[in-house]
Amino acid sequence: MIIGLTGGIASGKTFCSDFFQAKGVPLVDADVIAREIVQKGEPLLEQLKALLGKEVLLSDGQLNRAWLRRQIFADECLKKQVNDLMHPLIRERAQQQLAVAESQAAWIMYSVPLLFENALEMICHAVIVVDILPDLQISRGAMRDGVTEADIRRIMTAQLSREQRLSRANFVIDNSGSRVQTRLQCADLYRQIYQNFLTG
């Protein structure tokens, strides 16, 4: 059984998925895969260099994520070209990891920022949305390295609205409060999933 996990940028998906993973739930994380496929030496990094020039690399040969983020959110055509390179690889690796995990566990968490946008809820038995107040989303997101408030607002605009995500959720984790409050919600949800899906 696959449980999808999604939410807007800086909503706290990783904090929540870490909780479930610590409980022994296998995690397939699209963000982690996206970072893996652009590591130094990976073919995709060379493709991005061919498309965008040497500016896409840092002095050590690693991907310049902040620079790339600024470019793609300023140019929709370029954004599509980069996504067309990355998304098939991310989906392929995710499918491989899901297949392995499904053979080993009763349920798997599949964390995808653009789960609904890419219609990946179709392969999930249920979807958890990590929710956060927009002002908090902006302030927390802007604390990340190389990300400005303007960057966060652009990314939020490109994603589904908060209302759209919430309307399509089976479960919601409100991450606008303290970490303790979020952790308690995760624990309650962990119990609910077992009761509703795995014990009949």
Q: Where are the domains of the chain?
A: 1-26+107-199, 31-104
Question: CB–CB of 7/174 below 8 Å?
Answer: no
What is the pLDDT at residue 109? Answer: 97
Would the pLDDT of 200 be above 80?
Answer: no
Q: Mean pLDDT across the stretch 24-44?
A: 94
Please give the residue that has the higher pLDDT: either 141 or 200.
Answer: 141
Which pTM was predicted? 0.90
Question: Over the stretch 97-143, which tens digit does the pLDDT of each residue have?
Answer: 999 999 988 899 999 999 999 999 999 999 999 999 999 988 888 87
3-class secondary-structure state, position 142:
coil
**How far apart are the C-alpha atoms of 140 and 138, rounded to whole Å?**
6
**How far apart are the C-alpha atoms of 121 and 118, rounded to whole Å?**
8
Question: CB–CB of 132/7 below 8 Å?
Answer: yes
Q: Mean pLDDT across the stretch 85-94?
A: 94
What is the Cβ-side half-sphere exposure of residue 194, based on CA atoms within 13 angstroms?
10
Binding residue positions for ATP:
10-15
Question: Over the stretch 19-29, which tens digit does the pLDDT of each residue have?
Answer: 999 999 999 99
What is the CATH architecture assignment of 1-26+107-199?
Answer: 3-Layer(aba) Sandwich (3.40)
Q: Which amino acid is at 40?
A: K
Kindly indicate the confidence band of residue 64, based on its pLDDT and cuts at 50, 70 and 90.
very high
**How far apart are the C-alpha atoms of 127 and 121, rounded to whole Å?**
7
- Six token digits for residue 77: 């055509």
What is the pLDDT at residue 169? Answer: 96
Q: Mean pLDDT across the stretch 140-162?
A: 81
**How far apart are the C-alpha atoms of 116 and 86, rounded to whole Å?**
17
Kindly indicate the confidence band of residue 150, based on its pLDDT and cuts at 50, 70 and 90.
confident
Got the DSSP string for 135-156?
HHHHHHHTTSTT--HHHHHHHH
Residue with tokens 């392969």: 123
Cα radius of gyration rounded to whole Å, the chain: 17
Residue with tokens 């997101």: 141
Would the pLDDT of 12 be above 60?
Answer: yes
Would the pLDDT of 9 be above 80?
Answer: yes
- Mean of per-residue pLDDT scores for the chain: 91
Binding residue positions:
10-15
Kindly indicate the confidence band of residue 146, based on its pLDDT and cuts at 50, 70 and 90.
low
Would the pLDDT of 149 be above 90?
Answer: no
Kindly indicate the confidence band of residue 95, based on its pLDDT and cuts at 50, 70 and 90.
very high
**How far apart are the C-alpha atoms of 112 and 128, rounded to whole Å?**
11
